[in-house]
Structure 1
Amino acid sequence: MSTLEQTAPEQTAPEQTTGARRASVPATREEVLASARRARVAAAELAVATRAIKDGALRAMADAVLDRREEILRANALDVEAAVAAATPDSLVDRLRLTASRVEAMAAGLRELAGLPDPVGTIVRGSVLPNGLELQQVRVPMGVVAIIYEARPNVTVDAAGIALKSGNAALLRGSASAHESNKVLVAILSAAAAAAGLPADAVQLVPGTDRESVTHLMTARGLVDVIIPRGGAGLIAAVVNGSTVPVIETGVGNCHVYVDATADHTMALQILVNSKARRPSVCNAAETLLVHADAAPTFVPLAVAALREAGVVVHADAAVRELVGDVPGVVPATDEDFDTEFLSLDIAAAVVPDIDAAIAHITAHGTGHTEAIVTSTLAAAQRFTARVDAAAVMVNASTAFTDGGEFGFGAEIGISTQKLHARGPMGLAELTSTKYVVTGTGQIRASS
């Protein structure tokens, strides 16, 4: 999901950090490329590994994570201590911190992956051509998948697991702020995979914590098949703009909740508060509330009260402020607020004249992640879902449901907001490509 301290767009290589300033560990280009070469060798073995071997490795990895949880927590404590000493915001420290229950959840995620169907070898489509050739489009691994991400050591385990299950070698480049945690986690995962019969290099931590190591990774075209950035707008922009390796762009989430004229107000309040306050630091959290003018006189005061009770600061336009008056927790909205992914207990709020104005606002300010409408009118729901351009559109449901686990995909590698290859939560199938297998009985093509 998204994200932490954002990288300035002009930087060519992101140094992901929650604010903790540590001496960076340099890595030469050759060291990074050597890691990628080892990953390619491992990927060739993973591509033909049976489901039984992969699932056995995932279960072994889960057991190893639990068996060595104290070691993981000790390493994580060093990262957290450094982050706190650097005056990192509490919300970001929380994303960095591991607890016993979070370690258990990581292990549970690996076991859940082991229970999911293997996408490799799935026939996407097939037919027999008029000339008798049998045509099959089959799912195959991508090869070497690099993930560049910020903080959240649980991403290390999720990414390694989902890459392995889909037959890919994983090159993991976490933030410097989580380096101690990630070193231990990758060592544990790699050793467990090797003990289960897979290459130890199937899961690797990219050498170095300096910006140059990321640049080397992003330009390892021919060795790395795809890069997936997970983080803030700056990180994603730096990877997309600086990479010569193909990138699957996971986007920031400036998500909206639109309350239509016919919305049930009780339902709308529940959806709004859950979308915003359940976990404000993730990319599927709502960042803007839009209210139809006909519903606004009654709904806006209720919404502001509910948001304030949840600790949310409302960045309100003039129409919202006029309806609620001068109350604590309500501040004037700026133009920038409506383009902001707050990732905090803040939300922008505006009154719109009709559904088309809401759609126009979302088109102008949204990021194509998740948009929600609360309405009791089928025509409004259909208009909204047809005209809003986003990876996920919710009708009478919280934006928090845009999640690979909630969609039944198991652990996700990220939520793609692009339109090529994958869009929305990226599960196992989205980490595969396809090849065509054509079987004949001696057919040859006639001369033209």
Structure 2
Amino acid sequence: MKLLDTEIKNKVLKSMAQILHKNREAIIKANKKDIAAFTGEDQALLDRLIINNKKVDEMIAAVEAVSLQEDPVGSELSNITLPNGLKVVNTTAPFGTILIIYESRPDVTIEAAVLAFKANNKILLKGGKEAYHSNVYLEQCWHEALELNGLDKDWIKLLQLDREATREFLKNPHEPLDLIVPRGGEALINFVKTHANCAVLVSGRGNNFLYVSEHADWGKAVNVIINAKTDKISGCNALDKVLINKNIPEYHTKLKMLYQKLKQHRVDVLADEPISKVIPEASMISNEHIWHEEFLALKILLGEVNNLEEAISTINTYSGKHSAAIITEDNFEARQFMQLVDSAAVYHNASTRFTDGGQMGVGAELAISTDKLHHRGPLGLKQLVTNKYYVYGDGQIRV
């Protein structure tokens, strides 16, 4: 794959930002076709589908922000000279070709492509059929930006494949494929991992937990819970489960207050058996499977725990390993929680809604990785490269 100069890559991104601005009305018009054709009842899916002026502004901002970031390709990671005279230099290098499979969100067609391209990767975009018109138009914008700067439009390509064709492509790709990022639910992730013949970096489900300690500031806890649950229900960083220590002072009164606050925000409250005895108005859960579910809805599950250890164990058993939070004024307890909970992002006294590339200082993101190799958390520009060793000698042989 050809290595592009940083200057030409940034020129493409500058052109793309201008093209998005010039064509914002046409982009929104194409998106309206997708909205009109949407027949599902999944409100989160619909929320992710919508493009408005604010969303176009965010797309432009993402492109401009990446153009200002340092080129991640060719950075020196280490440089050593061995006793035998060999000079060994480890540098960052592009992956090659990345395939991202995603549902509904046409803004991914911008963010994924801008990051992959700046990191000198070719990207194949497999968007969901519900965003067909939006994605086709955005691909045209990319192709215009590439061709304006003398580059082949194959650097960024939208794949129009049905499920069977996608399965076949994963098994027998008709071009080199170096990395696949499935960005969606468990069914999509399992489908890709079953059929792919190259590396898969999982952008897993949310199912995020928050633990309220007996040492919590209750007002702080309620504010964080409300924000994490209601700020954006379609976000993979939205809150799903709250574990509450039964030793909190005025436990019953505070539980009832939390329930009333959640109902004011139109949240459907589910409860385990101990909490349902305190809040009989909440729907008591009927089976354990619900602890594994990512809700993506105005729905939350409240559960009672005896101590920190039980909270950690519950989270590590059921969560999607995406984000988890503890509300406590005890810093030692917070440190224990953050060290022992197996999640990509762990929070002390803050909302899980910050698990986002832009919010965490990474910038635009391809996805939130819940894998441990090669990276965990927001996949930003610096994470879309691998490494390569350059070894310089003068006739050395191994003896």
Given the superposition, is the C-alpha separation of residues 377 and 418 from structure 1 closer, same or farther in structure 2, using an over 3 Å criterion?
Answer: same
Structure 2 distance, partners of 1:283, 1:427, is 16
Q: 2:68 aligns with which of 73, 97, 115?
A: 115
Counterpart residue number, 2:169: 217
| TM-score normalised according to structure 1 size | 0.85
- Give the C-alpha shift of residue 434 in structure 1: 0.4
Q: What percentage of aligned pairs have identical amino acids?
A: 35
Tell me, in whole angstroms, the C-alpha distance in 2 between the residues paired with 1:245 and 1:88. Answer: 34
- 1:316 and 2:271 equivalent? yes
Q: CA offsets per residue over residues 14-43 of structure 1, 9 Å max, x none?
A: xxxxxxxxxxxxxxxxxxxxxxxxxxxxxx
Letter in 2 for 1:127: I
The residue number in structure 2 matching 1:104 is 57
How far does residue 137 in structure 1 lie from its aligned partner after superposition?
1.1
Answering whether residue 339 of structure 2 is matched by residue 414 of structure 1, we say: no
Could you say which residue in structure 2 is the equivalent of 1:61? 16
**Whole-Å separation in 1 of the counterparts to 2:383 and 2:105:** 22
- Is 1:333 equivalent to 2:285 in the alignment? yes
On the 8 A contact 1:159/1:413 being kept in 2, the answer is: yes
Aligned residues: 395
Instruction: List aligned pairs for 1:184-223, cutoff 5 A.
Output: 184-206=137-159, 208-220=160-172, 223=176
What do the CA deviations read for 1:306-331 (whole angstroms, capped 9, x no partner)?
A: 2112211111112222223x33xx21
Please tell me whether residue 73 in structure 1 is matched to residue 33 in structure 2.
Answer: no
Aligned to 2:339: 386
User: Where has structure 1 moved over 4 Å in runs of 4 or more?
Assistant: none
8 Å contact kept, 1:60–1:192: yes
Which residue of structure 2 lines up, in the alignment, with residue 268 of structure 1? Answer: 221
- Partners of 1:388 and 1:412 in 2: how far apart? 24
What SS is found at the alignment partner of 1:435? strand
Partner of 1:27: none
Aligned residue in 1 for 2:315: 362
Q: Which secondary structure does the structure 1 equivalent of 2:200 belong to?
A: coil
Q: Say whether 1:351 aligns with 2:304.
A: yes
Q: Is the 8 A contact 1:218 1:227 kept in 2?
A: no
* 1:244 to 2:182 alignment: no
2-structure distance, mates of 1:299, 1:436: 58
Q: Pick from 382, 388, 392 the counterpart of residue 435 of structure 1.
A: 388
2:235 match: 282
State the match for 1:303 in structure 2: 258
Where 1:413 maps in the other structure, the secondary structure is: coil
CA deviations 1:368-389 (Å, max 9, x no partner) are 1111111111221121112111
Q: Is the 8 A contact 1:57 1:197 kept in 2?
A: no
Quick check: 1:121–1:139 contact (8 Å CA) kept in 2? yes
Q: Which amino acid aligns with 2:257?
A: L
Task: Output one character per residue of 1:109-163: Cα deviation in whole Å (capped at 9) or x when no partner.
Answer: 1001111111111112222222232222111110111111101111111111111
For the 8 Å contact 2:345–2:377, the answer to whether it is kept is: yes
- Per the TM alignment, residue 87 of structure 1 is displaced from its structure 2 partner at its CA by 4.4
> 2:86·2:396 contact (CA, 8 Å) conserved in 1?
no
Amino acid at match of 2:264: E
Aligned residue type for 2:233? P
Aligned partners of 2:331, 2:392: CA distance in 1, in Å?
A: 48
For the 8 Å contact 1:53–1:197, the answer to whether it is kept is no
Paired with 1:66 and 1:49, the residues of 2 have a C-alpha distance of 25
**SS class of match (1:127):** strand
Unaligned runs of 5+ in 1: 1-43
TM-superposed CA distance for 1:200, in Å, is 1.3
User: How far apart, in 1, do the equivalents of 2:80 and 2:170 lie?
Assistant: 39
Alignment partner, residue 52 of structure 1: 7
Unaligned runs of 5+ in 2: none
TM-score (norm 2): 0.95
Give the residue type in structure 1 aligned to 2:103. E
1:138 match: secondary structure: strand
Contact 1:220 1:245 in 2 (8 A): no
